Amino acid sequence: MRCPIGVGNEAEVLVAYTTGAMTPAEQEAFELHMAECAGCRELAGAQKSVWGALDLWKLPPVSDQFDQKLRARIAEEARLPWWKRQWSTLSHPGFWFSWKPAIPVGVACAVLVGAFLLHGPAMHPAMRNAAPAAAPAAVQGQQDAQKVDVDEVERALDDMDMLKQLDAPASAPARAPEGS
Amino acid sequence: MEDPQLSGSARVSEDMTALASLERDAELMIRVREGDETSFALLLNRHRGPVVHFLYRMVQNQGVAEELGQEVFLRVYKARATYEPTAKFTTWLFRIATHLALNWLRDRKTERSHDSIDETSGDGPARELPDRSGTIEQKLVRDARLGEIRAAIEALPGKQRAAVLMHKYEEMEYVQIAGALGCSESAVKSLLFRAYETLRARLAHLV
């Protein structure tokens, strides 16, 4: 048998040996190995001592009132309305303990949402007032804005044409004396 | 449309097959689900001692252990309607017990007081089985040893403590302990080996 300490599974072998979980063949092999290995012998001895020491801890029997108290609690539970029964589950410290890790995350999320609502991009007052009018009004407004833009561009082009026409007669007499 | 009689008999047949492979505890629990109070009394009779003793060794207080033990069985009773024998009954039972004990230990760690316990409890020394044999000197030695054992167990982290107690005193297999602790079998082995290593260092001189 290879030394369990060398292999790194001494704990498993020791526990199996002490608890009698080994097969007779495994036990015989380990005992043969222990006869030659001082390390394993020492560990096995210590583990057996622990096992024996734990056996010393005897407990008194359960009290006579245990069942009576349990029955009383069951009867008390049965008398509660359904919502109180749910509440007793929710108000049990164990229930909230299981949610403890989620509580800081939840609080952090709530703070972030609150901060966003308070300090996030502000809505224009006109838009805030118009908010109930919602989508159709917004679409109409966008179309109007586009129409205004096109009109303005057309007007600007007309102005430019007009300026060109004005510019042409004005520049012609200036060139005439040059040619003469 | 499905024939109700046929589906009913098929279900009974399925239940019978399931029951055949189930342990007696699960069978009793199924009867409790169907409203049989005697089966609950039988379950209580079978598991009251191991559960309360496990809790006692976990919290090291008789009154607290009994109150938590009542809570375990109350939860079992309340869960009877939804009970499905997917795991071994004792695994489920010790899962509830471990959960309650670990919660109690955590709460006590932060509060160091537990007002709801009745007068038999308190944070005083735990009651042990009185041993009237031997001289006063022998008794003192025994008490000192017991004190060391209790202190060594109490010093273990909660999950290691639960694993050792289930392994040593309840003789549960690794897979069952894993089920009760909600972790893998290899994690249980690791917990146990670390716990025994600590205990070897503290208790090897005792026997």
Report how far residue A76's alpha carbon sits from residue B122's, in angstroms, rounded to the nearest whole number: 24
Q: Is the CB of A53 less than 8 angstroms away from the CB of B77?
A: no
Token readout for A72 is 């009383």
Chain B residue whose CA is closest to A47: B200
Please name the residues between 60 and 89 in chain B that touch chain A, using a CB distance below 8 Å.
62, 66, 69-70, 73-74, 77-78
Chain A neighbors of B200, CB-CB under 8 A: 43, 46-47, 49-50
Chain A residue whose CA is closest to B78: A74
pLDDT in tens, A131-151: 555 556 556 666 666 666 777
- Say which of A47, A50, A66 has its CB closest to residue B70: A66
| CB-based contact, B53 to chain A, within 8 Å | yes
Name the pTM for this structure: 0.65
pLDDT in tens, A22-48: 899 999 998 899 999 888 888 888 888
So what's the ipTM on this one? 0.73
Q: Is the CB of B128 less than 8 angstroms away from the CB of A59?
A: yes
Low-confidence ranges of chain A (pLDDT < 70): 6, 84-103, 120-148, 166-180
pLDDT in tens, B15-55: 555 454 456 898 899 999 998 999 999 999 999 999 999 99
CATH of B13-112 among 3.40.50.300, 1.10.1740.10, 3.30.420.40, 1.10.3720.10: 1.10.1740.10
B98 class by beta-carbon count within 10 Å (0-12 exposed, 13-18 middle, 19+ buried): buried
In 3D space, the residue among B79, B85, B33, B32 whose CA is nearest the CA of residue A77 turns out to be: B79
| Contact partners, residue A128, CB within 8 Å, separation at least 6 | none
| CB-based contact, B6 to chain A, within 8 Å | no
> Three-state SS across B41-93?
HHHHHHHHHHHHHHHHHHHCCHHHHHHHHHHHHHHHHHCHHHCCCCCCHHHHH
B113 φ, ψ to 5°?
-155, 150
For residue A70, how far is the Cα from the chain centroid?
39
pLDDT at residue A151, as a whole number: 78
Token readout for A154 is 């057309």
Report how far residue B207's alpha carbon sits from residue B200's, in angstroms, rounded to the nearest whole number: 11
Mutate to test the interface with A, among B146, B196, B198 (most CBs of A within 10 A): B196
Own/partner long-range contacts of A148-153 (Cβ < 8 Å, ≥24 apart): none
Find the chain A residues whose C-beta atoms sit closer than 8 A to any C-beta of B: 11-12, 14-15, 19, 43, 45-54, 56-63, 66-67, 69-70, 73-74, 77, 93-94, 97
CATH of B134-207 among 3.40.50.1000, 1.10.10.10, 1.10.1040.10, 1.20.200.10: 1.10.10.10
pLDDT at residue B140, as a whole number: 87
Residue at token pair 């909660």: B158
pLDDT tens track, chain B, 207 positions: 444 444 555 555 555 554 544 568 988 999 999 989 999 999 999 999 999 999 999 999 999 999 999 999 999 999 888 888 888 899 999 999 999 999 999 988 776 654 544 444 444 445 555 555 668 888 888 888 889 999 999 999 999 999 999 999 999 999 999 999 999 999 999 999 999 999 998 887 775
Measured between CA atoms, how close is A123 to chain B, in angstroms? 47
Token readout for A91 is 């108000």
In 3D space, the residue among A21, A22, A31 whose CA is nearest the CA of residue A1 turns out to be: A31
Q: Are the beta carbons of A75 and B74 closer than 8 angstroms?
A: no
Percent of the residues in chain A that have a pLDDT greater than 90, as a whole number: 11
Token readout for A55 is 């056996």
pLDDT at residue A115, as a whole number: 84
Cβ-Cβ contacts under 8 Å between A and B: the total is 105
pLDDT at residue B122, as a whole number: 45
pLDDT at residue A179, as a whole number: 40
